[in-house]
Amino acid sequence: MKIAIAGAGAMGSRIGLMLHAAGNQVILIDTWPAHIAAIREKGLLANLNGQEVVAHLPIYSPTELPADLQVDLIVALTKSMQLDQMFQMIQSLIHPTTYVLSLLNGLGHEDTLEKYVPKENIIFGTTTWTAGLKGPGYAELTGTGAIEMENIEPSGKEFTLKVVEVFKKAKLNPMYSDNVRYSIWKKACINGTLNGLCTILDCNVGELGNLTVTKDLITAIVSEFAAVSQQEGIHLDQASVITAIEATYDPETQGRHYPSMYQDLIKSQRKTEIDYINGAVWRKGQRLEIPTPYCAFLTELIHGKEQLLNAK
């Protein structure tokens, strides 16, 4: 399959590397000049569970895409706030037979993608894979994960099942879902605890799990997500979500991992996705007249930390 990774950061590097290793024609698209230059010079380097690997993949900035380039699938892995701009710039890639698989964190991305891709060509998914960047062109890839996906419209199921098979050969542990919206809300809820709290408390996932205050904090945040999602027809099982969050504390799985929001803000001083996670729940809660004080406070704290770090 011909596949473009739109947003070849940490997770895009992982997905692109594994799809390439399985024999697919993969191109990377990114906007970070140093990352593009490093991959062009040395290939995409990765520490994959302790093994150093390299993949020589073509990489472009969105403005460099050849006019005649066509792909079967675009995997959207930008940051949430970059999705609209990315798809504005890569419209030449999109043809009537091009599908888009969105694996972004957060909520509300269908509204953006429907401006550029027919609804029947959109696949939504969520992933438990983790990834980090040690520097331009060098990914740190540890642990294992899975991907869940479902087409928005029934007519897209045939192609989605093909994507599942392609991802299966790449050992990305995919599964076809009959209710991916539940999984997206569940993943957003997990991120709504781990991302913001680890960033504010300056710790990794395992360190967060060892704090005596953590249980009360995650219980409160999860209850707010559940109250808002209920109004959108998604009944979040709060106990199972909390169990899933607590499972990440194990240092043998994800406990040593610093969430993407931490990597963005603490390591790179970049804007975070908080407005598409806790901020989205806060905004929805305001419209629905559902109190979400923890999500509101965490959103404001992250924005405050963004301002402080960017001012230095």
2 is catalytic: no
According to the model, what pLDDT value does residue 15 have? 97
β-bridge mates for residue 135, sequence order: 138
β-bridge mates for residue 126, sequence order: 148
Express each pLDDT in 30-87 by its tens digit. 999 999 999 999 999 999 888 999 999 999 999 999 988 999 999 999 989 999 999 9
Decide the pairing of beta strands 25-29 and 99-102.
unpaired
Question: Which two structure tokens, joined as six digits, stand for 27?
Answer: 């191109």
Express each pLDDT in 285-304 by its tens digit. 999 999 999 999 999 999 99
Question: Which two structure tokens, joined as six digits, stand for 220?
Answer: 């409160």
Specify the amino acid at residue 283: R
In whole angstroms, what is the distance from residue 15 CA to residue 57 CA?
A: 12
Question: Which two structure tokens, joined as six digits, stand for 264?
Answer: 């963005």
Catalytic, out of 79, 186, 187, 305: 187
Express each pLDDT in 78-111 by its tens digit. 989 999 999 999 999 999 999 999 999 889 898 8
